[in-house]
Amino acid sequence: MGNGFFEVPIAVNEPIKGYAPGSPERKEVLETYKEMYNTKVEVPLFINGKEVKTKDTSTMSPPHDHKHVLGTYHKATKKNVEEAISTSLEARKKWAAMPWEQRAGIFLRAAELIAGPYRAKINAATMLAQSKNIYQAEIDAACELIDFLRFNVQYMTEIYAEQPESTSAAWNRIEYRPLEGFIYAITPFNFTAIAGNLPASAALMGNVVLWKPSDSQVYSAKVVLDVFREAGVPAGVINMVMGDPVMITDTVLASPDFSGIHFTGSTHVFKDIWQKVGTNIHNYKTYPRIVGETGGKDFIVAHKTSNPKQVATAMARGAFEFQGQKCSAASRCYISESIWKDVKKDLVADIKSFKMGSPEDMGNFITAVIHESSFDKLAKYIDAAKKDENAEIIAGGNYDKSKGYFIEPTVIVVKDPKYTTMCTELFGPVLTVYVFEDKKWEETLHLVDETSEYALTGAVFSEDRYALEEAVKILENAAGNFYINDKPTGAVVGQQPFGGARASGTNDKAGSKQNLYRWISPRMVKETFVSPTDYRYPFLG
Ligand code: NAD
């Protein structure tokens, strides 16, 4: 630290731009989208400050327009991954010793670059790569990523300020060291903000990071990387490799210097990685930190006293925004019998009014799902529901992959509350509803708690405080983010730290101090001013 107890700017959430017709931000993002759509890019690996091209490449296409090619990305060999690890360990020597205010300066600058000159580009890239409509792109790639960067800088300084008591005889100090070794960040396709935050949060705390983005998000990950480079992240501090996830992961986990994983993605992948870490445990120099935010089967439960229009709106937004591909998306709903008729009418009317197509047409609320295997999986579940006499499709049910991977927002009403789509994470625009008898409120709350292996998000609607209270208690362990009279999506950094337990993750709450604690190893230093010179205590007489 330099000579001064520096204060960082107080973090405030980045305002969300409106993109209304005629607004300058709408014009800019659409122009950028068109330009990017018509330009081919090549995304190399990024190792020790250098772009590395290999002989092995894959193409990138928009999910809503899969015959169009946006460019190619290079895939790593084992040797590339080993080089990324060894160069990052070399970079660690200077990075870990760099004063915190310099690290803060870099990531605050990254936030400002995204808020300003990169905003249209990072949003357009997210519209193209992940088929987000402009609002979904703005709240993710721009606002949430900016918030992660700014709030984490503030949290870092709050952590560093946490110090133990001292006396006149001894001064106690805690140094918050980065972990010894390197961190491995594996990121999912669905949030550009998560892709940026997983490597950045660990790097901010003084660690070096090997970042592996999802194959389906490389296009927008490249923009994040460009921001990090322009903001001044030094060579080797964040290396980026793409390619075979199993080979990359096995190579990383074989390194004795592996000191932590920052993962977001599906539950089974995380469990496999955890198992591999366990198998290799005797090889590591330190116990690796294992942080993973994983799947969800998120619920809305509505009491007979709740407002049907509010419940229907929460279902329409909570289940179908970004085609239901949010880990927090509502995918199972439990609605009290006496309000169901009204809820159903409003929900079906809402869904009928949704327009579906390319995000370039800003009238479209719904776009495509991420890739063909997701499309095929969702189509399979929809077909099975069509054939099942215990399931009724009341909205949607059609799909078409001729141009893009389009699945109509679909609502299935089931008689069996344990029907497969009430339990399994589908990760798409398919919502399953179970209607319960008004008098079975308490029983239904237990059902909600016991139906799924996950515990990520959930929402309860009621105008009756006693009913809400009961839900809060019975569902205590059913969700890490619990909403009262609101949809279960849309967590904001600094306001609703995000994460779940059970099969949904280690609940280390992205966008909070708690997450940053995982990337540091405190060293306690006690300095005694006048050391004793006689071993005898008074009691020895
Ligand atoms: P995914 O598990 O398919 O992929 C995530 C990452 O893991 C990607 O980088 C992928 O390449 C990598 N990967 C895949 N197989 C691997 C393997 N065998 N070994 C090592 N790495 C491997 O997930 P996805 O489709 O990108 O994202 C959707 C999933 O992520 C959903 O389950 C969703 O609920 C979850 N998610 C959770 C949160 C949260 O905060 N809890 C947030 C976003 C997404």
Question: DSSP letter at 536?
Answer: -
Residue 2 confidence (pLDDT): 76
> Rounded to whole angstroms, how far apart are CA atoms 334 and 417?
9
Neighbour tally for 315: CB within 10 Å = 27
Pocket test for ligand 1, best of 266, 371, 515 (most atoms within 8 A of CB): 266
Residue 57 has pLDDT above 70, yes or no: yes
The pLDDT of 101-118, averaged and rounded, is 98
Ligand 1 mean position to 214 CA, how many Å?
A: 8
Pocket test for ligand 1, best of 73, 136, 212, 264 (most atoms within 8 A of CB): 264
Ligand 1 mean position to 461 CA, how many Å?
A: 30
- Amino acid identity of residue 397, one-letter, is G
Bridge partners for 494 per DSSP: none
Pocket test for ligand 1, best of 280, 290, 327 (most atoms within 8 A of CB): 327
Over the stretch 461-496, which tens digit does the pLDDT of each residue have? Answer: 999 999 999 999 999 999 999 999 999 999 999 999
Indicate which residue's Cα is closest to atom 6 of ligand 1.
188
The pLDDT of 152-163, averaged and rounded, is 98
Ligand 1 mean position to 187 CA, how many Å?
A: 7
Nearest to 184 by CA among 242, 260, 129, 246: 260
Of 3.40.309.10, 1.20.140.10, 2.60.40.1940, 3.40.50.720, the CATH number of 298-484 is: 3.40.309.10
Catalytic, out of 327, 360, 408, 425:
327
Tokens representing residue 362 in the block: 């800003």
Q: Which is it for strands 71-74 and 41-43: parallel, antiparallel or unpaired?
A: parallel
The pLDDT of 295-317, averaged and rounded, is 98
Cβ distance 161 to 174 under 8 Å? no
Burial bucket for residue 532 (CB in 10 Å: 0-12, 13-18, 19+): exposed
Residue 255 has pLDDT above 60, yes or no: yes
The pLDDT of 226-248, averaged and rounded, is 98
Angle at 216 between CA 425 and CA 112, to 5 degrees: 105
Q: What is the mean pLDDT of the chain?
A: 98
Across 46-80, b (16+ Cβ under 10 Å) vs e yields: bbbeeebebeebeebbbbbbbeeebbbbbbbbeeb
- Which residues line the pocket of ligand 1, CB cutoff 6 A? 186-191, 194, 212, 214-215, 245-246, 249, 264-266, 269, 272-273, 293-296, 327, 425, 427, 456, 498-499, 504-505
Matching CATH topology for 24-294+505-525 and 298-484?
A: no
Ligand 1 mean position to 339 CA, how many Å?
A: 37
Residue 423 confidence (pLDDT): 97
Tokens representing residue 210 in the block: 């090997």
Cβ distance 33 to 124 under 8 Å? yes
Burial bucket for residue 3 (CB in 10 Å: 0-12, 13-18, 19+): exposed
Q: What is the secondary structure of 184-197 as a DSSP string?
A: EEE--SS-HHHHHH
Looking from the CA of residue 456, the nearest atom of ligand 1 is: 41
Residue 440 has pLDDT above 90, yes or no: yes
- Amino acid identity of residue 138, one-letter, is E
Q: Phi then psi for 93, rounded to 5 degrees?
A: -55, -45
Cβ distance 416 to 432 under 8 Å? no
Tokens representing residue 113 in the block: 């670059």
3-state secondary structure of 261: strand
Domain ranges of the chain: 24-294+505-525, 298-484
Q: Which helix (H) or strand (E) holds 443?
A: helix 441-451
Angle at 203 between CA 182 and CA 492, to 5 degrees: 125
What is the topology classification, in CATH, of domain 24-294+505-525?
Aldehyde Dehydrogenase; Chain A, domain 1 (3.40.605)
Angle at 82 between CA 76 and CA 88, to 5 degrees: 105
Mark whether 442 is an active-site residue: no
Ligand 1 mean position to 169 CA, how many Å?
A: 52
Q: What order do you get walking across the sheet with 298-302 strand by strand?
A: 391-395, 410-414, 430-436, 330-336, 298-302, 457-461, 481-484
Indicate which residue's Cα is closest to atom 18 of ligand 1.
246
Mark whether 293 is an active-site residue: yes
CA 341 from chain centre, in angstroms, equals: 35
Residue 1 confidence (pLDDT): 53
